[in-house]
Amino acid sequence: MKPDEEVKQSAPVPTDARRAAELFAESVAIMTRLRAPGGCPWDREQTFDTIRKYTLEEAYEVFDTIERRDFPHLCEELGDLLLQVLFYAEMAANQGLFTMADVLDGLNSKLIRRHPHVFGDEAAREAGNRADVDANVEGSSAAVLRNWDEIKKAEKADSAQKSRLDSVLNAMPALAEAAKLGAKARKAGFDWPHWQDLLPKVEEESRELEAELTREPVDQAAVEAELGDLLFTVVNLGRHVEVDAEMALRGTNRRFRNRFRQMEQDTSRPLEELSLDELEALWVEAKRKLADRK
């Protein structure tokens, strides 16, 4: 008996879960039909490369609805994101690579082996866990994360990775990638000891950027490199003070949108016709009006 079968038998399946399983099966069948001969011409033409951009767009739309607490639309956006998974799995099945059943089987096994504190050591072992961890986490989420990391490390032990940084996907947003790289390096002891140590580094990188910008002629590649170094340092400063740089920047973007919109509303003249002093005055007033919306 597989670990996931043991889980299924441990408690009756809720009615909603059964309905979800039926609807999911229907979704898989619909996608199969769309990709089959006589199905949708557009869907049949798609490849992994042509639809991957939509996957990123759908993930960001999910993120956006959560951030705005637009839960009615979140339901719809989650469906759109799930469509991407169905699409990839069906294309893989068409090429004989794997099926949706393989995706779900792999996911179920992963969830069980990485949660020995929930499903038990034996079930986790049968699901592939090779790490020696203490399943008695005593309600500690920190202990759960430690076990998760150890189990994941054991899973990767036999992989072809040449560097611990290979596990950080370079396809993720650059801010998130920078934070992940810094966190991985920290586990090897390669990190700034304290957040205060990063402040001089931010100043140093700013000076190096300024030096490149004031050279004649300006080397644009060098400017880009120095700006990247500055951003990397700032992202890791955020990591040290437990602030997600992506979330921080999204918050700033949102405030900028609101303040700029307020500026447009506060003047009857096009912004292009105003002087810098007038624009600055509008900006200060917009900040004052919207101060309670941070």
Amino acid occupying residue 182: G
Question: Buried (b) or exposed (e) across 228-257, using 16+ Cβ within 10 A?
Answer: ebbebbbbbbbbbeeeebbeeeeeeeeeee
Q: Is residue 155 part of a domain?
A: no
Same domain, yes or no, for 35 and 77? yes
pLDDT class of 146 with cuts at 50, 70, 90: confident
| In a domain? residue 64 | yes
| Spatial separation of the C-alpha atoms in residues 223 and 211, rounded to whole Å | 9
Lowest mean pLDDT segment, chosen from 167-181, 233-247, 277-291: 167-181
Residue with tokens 């990247």: 228
Written as six digits, the tokens of 50 are: 């042509």
pLDDT tens digits along 53-69: 899 899 999 999 998 89
- Would you list the DSSP string of 45-66? H--HHHHHHHHHHHHHHHHHHH
The answer to whether residues 283 and 235 belong to one domain is: no
How many domains is the chain built from? Answer: 3
Q: Is the pLDDT of residue 207 over 50?
A: yes
Q: For residue 139, is it within any domain?
A: no
Q: Does some domain include residue 190?
A: yes
Tokens of 265: 């509303």
Is residue 183 assigned to a domain? Answer: yes
- In this predicted structure, the answer to whether residue 160 has a pLDDT above a threshold of 70 is no
- Got the DSSP string for 166-181? GGS-TTS-HHHHHHHH
pLDDT for 134: 85
Which domain range does residue 279 map to? 247-293
Nearest to 211 by CA among 226, 199, 201: 226
Q: How many CB atoms sit inside 10 A of residue 288's CB?
A: 11
Residues 257 and 236 in one domain: no
Q: Are 100 and 28 in contact (CB under 8 A)?
A: yes
Contact 58, 81 (CB under 8 A): yes
CA nearest to 115, candidates 93, 89, 91, 148: 148
Distance CA 89, CA 103 (A): 8
Of 113, 146, 181, which closes a domain? 113
Token readout for 63 is 């993120």
Please say if the pLDDT value at position 154 is more than 90. no
Does the reported pTM lie above 0.75?
Answer: no
- CATH of residue 190's domain is 1.10.287.1080
- Could you tell me if 181 and 232 lie in one domain? yes
173's torsion region: left (phi>0), alpha (psi -120 to 50) or beta? beta
Decide if 99 is inside a domain. yes
Within a domain: 48: yes
152, part of any domain: no
Determine phi and psi for 78, rounding to 5 degrees.
Answer: -65, -35
Mind listing the pLDDT tens digit for each residue in 246-271?
Answer: 889 988 988 998 999 999 999 999 99
For residue 111, what are the contacts with CB-CB under 8 A and spacing of at least 6? none
pLDDT at residue number 158: 54
Phi and psi for 233 in degrees, rounded to 5?
A: -65, -45
Contact assessment for residue 201 and residue 192, using Cβ atoms and an 8 Å cutoff: yes
- Shared domain check, 262 and 211: no
